């Protein structure tokens, strides 16, 4: 039984005693990892990751606010995605973040990693937002080299709750980050997620959201900045399972050099889910002829009273705007940076983020552009 994709990788895991849940492992060993013939993985090849010899390692949480994160056990499952099965098989413990009913938290910052080179970290996380509670959670994943972080996060937002979640995925080296989130939203609940992915070897971030009760909303957005040989695959899957639900997906991608960025954006509207609004807009900026950007909208609509929109553009910087700024004496590099910065921060709008977080994210983008601290919004 060596024919499945990644079999040798799994055998190595087994031989170092990493398997904690044999049933999950057997299920994974039988199904193997998804290869590029699997539609959802046609743009992303895990062969390089599976050729590595990695050392299983626990999740390290560096949190600024102590006491907010508890441990969360791995699940025992024999079903689902191969990467979730891997997480289950090695018993990847993660974090538990619970916000009690009615609570309003100040923004919470947590950092996962850094860790040793050649580490394989699996984490099973759980976030619960009580009824009417509000929270802003900023998670920073990565800053690792030649390692692989793989996580599953389950989120429940109860009636009237609101979670704004920033997932900053960054790597100093050629790390691999595969993270999946499964969110369930109650009546009038909101989940606004913004994934910011920069650096790294291969990033695949999945956001699944089930809108199960009327009045709830999911915003699943991303800012993807890639250069060199970096690879990003951002996947969304919004399921409108109740009437009067809304969703919004704003994806802004900037690719330079030979980088590749993929957006697979799913909106599904179940039969009988009426009065649905689902918006999706993907815009990609190509800074090099050899960079690649793919957008694959997947809309499945089985109800009648539905307003769904999707749009995708791929282009270069606005040459007219570039000239306008240069004609005012702004050097070309600075003009380009200003335009990329403006483009990248478009998804900020919908989130209405606390200023400190916007400034932090702005700083990350400016750092990526090599113009750190150069431009700041002015207090007038």
Partner 1 sequence: MLEIKGLHAGLEDGTEILKGINLSIGAGEVHAIMGPNGSGKSTTANILSGKPGYDVRSGSATLEGADLFEMEPEERAHAGLFQAFQYPVEIPGVQSSTFLQTAVNAKRKVKGLAELDALAFVRELRAQAKKLGIGNDMLKRAVNVGFSGGEKKRFETLQMALLEPKLAVLDETDSGLDVDALRVVADGVNALRAPDRSFLVITHYQRLLDYIVPDYVHILSDGKIVKSGDKSLALAVEKTGYAEFEAA
Rg of the chain in Å (alpha carbons)? 21
* Smallest separation, CB 358 to partner 1 (Å): 13
Residue closer to partner 1 (CB basis): 11 or 332: 332
Q: What is the C-alpha to C-alpha distance for residues 332 and 325, in angstroms, rounded to an integer?
A: 8
Q: Which helix (H) or strand (E) holds 306?
A: strand 306-315
Residue closer to partner 1 (CB basis): 1 or 380: 380
325 by DSSP, 3-state: which?
helix
Residue closer to partner 1 (CB basis): 7 or 339: 339
Among 123-131, 171-179, 199-207, 371-379, the segment contacting partner 1 (CB under 8 A): 371-379
Q: What is the C-alpha to C-alpha distance for residues 74 and 89, in angstroms, rounded to an integer?
A: 9
Residue closer to partner 1 (CB basis): 158 or 338: 338
Residue closer to partner 1 (CB basis): 294 or 375: 375
Q: Which two tokens stand for residue 334?
A: 């600075």
Residue closer to partner 1 (CB basis): 72 or 253: 253
CA distances from 34 to 85, 114, 180, 259, 304 (A): 12, 27, 15, 22, 35
Phi, psi angles (nearest 5°) of residue 156: -120, 125
* Smallest separation, CB 197 to partner 1 (Å): 20
- Confirm if 262 and 44 have CB atoms less than 8 A apart: yes
Residue 224 lies near partner 1 (rule: CB under 8 A): no
DSSP state, residue 221: E
* Smallest separation, CB 285 to partner 1 (Å): 12
Residue closer to partner 1 (CB basis): 60 or 345: 345
Residue 279 lies near partner 1 (rule: CB under 8 A): no
- Confirm if 168 and 177 have CB atoms less than 8 A apart: no
* Smallest separation, CB 330 to partner 1 (Å): 5
Q: In what order do the strands lie in the sheet with 246-255?
A: 61-63, 108-112, 134-142, 162-171, 190-199, 217-226, 246-255, 276-286, 306-315
Residue closer to partner 1 (CB basis): 79 or 332: 332
**Read out DSSP for 117-144?**
TTEEEEEEEEEEE-TT-EEEEEEEEE--
Q: Which runs of consecutive H residues, i.e. helices, occur in the chain?
A: 7-15, 22-31, 47-50, 82-89, 319-327, 332-344, 348-351, 355-369
Site string for partner 1, 314-353 (x = CB under 8 A): ----xxxx-xxxxxxxxxx-x---xx-xxx-xx-------
* Smallest separation, CB 380 to partner 1 (Å): 4
* Smallest separation, CB 253 to partner 1 (Å): 15
* Smallest separation, CB 263 to partner 1 (Å): 20
DSSP state, residue 272: T
Q: Binding-site residue total for partner 1 (CB under 8 A)?
A: 28
* Smallest separation, CB 355 to partner 1 (Å): 14
* Smallest separation, CB 317 to partner 1 (Å): 11
Q: Which runs of consecutive H residues, i.e. helices, occur in 22-120?
A: 22-31, 47-50, 82-89
* Smallest separation, CB 328 to partner 1 (Å): 4
Residue closer to partner 1 (CB basis): 157 or 337: 337
Nearest to 147 by CA among 60, 244, 22: 60
Residue closer to partner 1 (CB basis): 3 or 320: 320
Residues of this chain that bind partner 1 (CB under 8 A): 318-321, 323-332, 334, 338-339, 341-343, 345-346, 375-380
């Amino acid at each position: 039984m060596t024919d499945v994709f990644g079999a040798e990788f799994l055998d190595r895991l087994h031989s170092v005693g990493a398997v904690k849940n044999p049933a999950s492992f057997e299920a994974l060993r039988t199904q193997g990892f998804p290869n590029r013939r699997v539609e959802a993985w046609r743009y992303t090849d895990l062969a390089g990751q599976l050729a590595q010899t990695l050392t299983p390692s626990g999740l390290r949480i560096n949190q600024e606010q102590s006491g907010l994160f508890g441990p969360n056990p791995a699940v025992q499952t024999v079903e689902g995605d191969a990467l979730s099965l891997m997480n289950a098989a090695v018993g990847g413990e993660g974090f538990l973040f619970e916000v009690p009913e009615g609570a309003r938290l100040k923004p919470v910052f947590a950092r996962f990693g850094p860790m040793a080179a050649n580490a394989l970290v699996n984490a099973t996380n759980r976030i619960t937002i009580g009824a009417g509670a509000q929270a802003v959670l900023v998670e920073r994943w990565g800053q690792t080299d030649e390692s692989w972080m793989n996580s599953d996060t389950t989120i429940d937002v109860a009636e009237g709750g609101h979670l704004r979640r920033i997932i900053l995925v960054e790597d100093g080296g050629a790390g691999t980050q595969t993270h999946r989130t499964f969110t369930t939203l109650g009546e009038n609940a909101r989940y606004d997620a913004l994934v910011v992915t920069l650096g790294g070897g291969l990033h695949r971030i999945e956001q699944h959201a089930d809108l199960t009760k009327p009045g709830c909303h999911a915003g699943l957005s991303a800012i993807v900045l890639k250069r060199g040989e970096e690879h990003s695959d951002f996947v969304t899957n919004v399921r409108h399972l109740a009437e009067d639900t809304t969703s919004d997906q704003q994806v802004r991608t900037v690719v330079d050099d030979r980088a590749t960025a993929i957006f697979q954006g799913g909106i599904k509207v179940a039969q009988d889910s009426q009065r649905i609004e689902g918006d999706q807009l993907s815009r990609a900026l190509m800074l090099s002829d050899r960079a690649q950007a793919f957008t694959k909208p997947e809309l499945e609509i089985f109800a009648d009273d539905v307003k769904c929109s999707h749009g995708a553009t791929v282009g270069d910087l606005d040459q007219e705007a570039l000239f306008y700024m240069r004609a005012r004496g702004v050097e070309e590099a600075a003009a380009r940076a200003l335009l990329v910065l403006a483009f990248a921060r478009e998804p900020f709008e919908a989130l209405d983020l606390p200023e400190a977080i916007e400034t932090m994210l702005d700083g990350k983008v400016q750092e990526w552009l090599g113009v750190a601290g150069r431009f700041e919004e002015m207090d007038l």
